[in-house]
Amino acid sequence: MKAVKHIWSVLCKHSIIDNETNNINLEEVLERLQVDVGVDPKTPKALPERVTIPFGFEIVTLWARKNFEDKDERKVDVRIEIIDPSGKKISEIVNSFVLTPNFRRMRGRARSGNIILTTSGLYIFKVSGKEFGEKDFDVVAELPLEVEILKKIVESKVAN
Whether residue 61 is predicted with pLDDT greater than 90 in this model: the reply is yes
Does some domain include residue 143? Answer: yes
* Domain coverage including residue 17: 4-150
Mean pLDDT for the chain?
90
Beta strand ranges found along the chain (DSSP E): 4-17, 24-29, 32-39, 51-53, 57-65, 74-83, 89-99, 105-112, 115-117, 121-131, 138-153
CA distance 59 to 61: 7
CA distance 92 to 55: 16
CA distance 69 to 104: 9
Query: CA 57, 29, 82, 118: dihedral to nearest 10 degrees?
Result: -80
For residues 63-78, give the mean pLDDT: 92
Does some domain include residue 155? Answer: no
What pLDDT does residue 44 have? 58
pTM beyond 0.85 = yes
What pLDDT does residue 160 have? 47
**How many domains are contained in the chain?**
1
Does some domain include residue 159? Answer: no
CATH number of the structural domain spanning residue 91: 2.60.40.10
Does some domain include residue 156? Answer: no
Whether residue 128 is predicted with pLDDT greater than 80 in this model: the reply is yes
For residues 89-98, give the mean pLDDT: 94
For residues 54-83, give the mean pLDDT: 94
Does some domain include residue 45? Answer: yes
Does some domain include residue 157? Answer: no
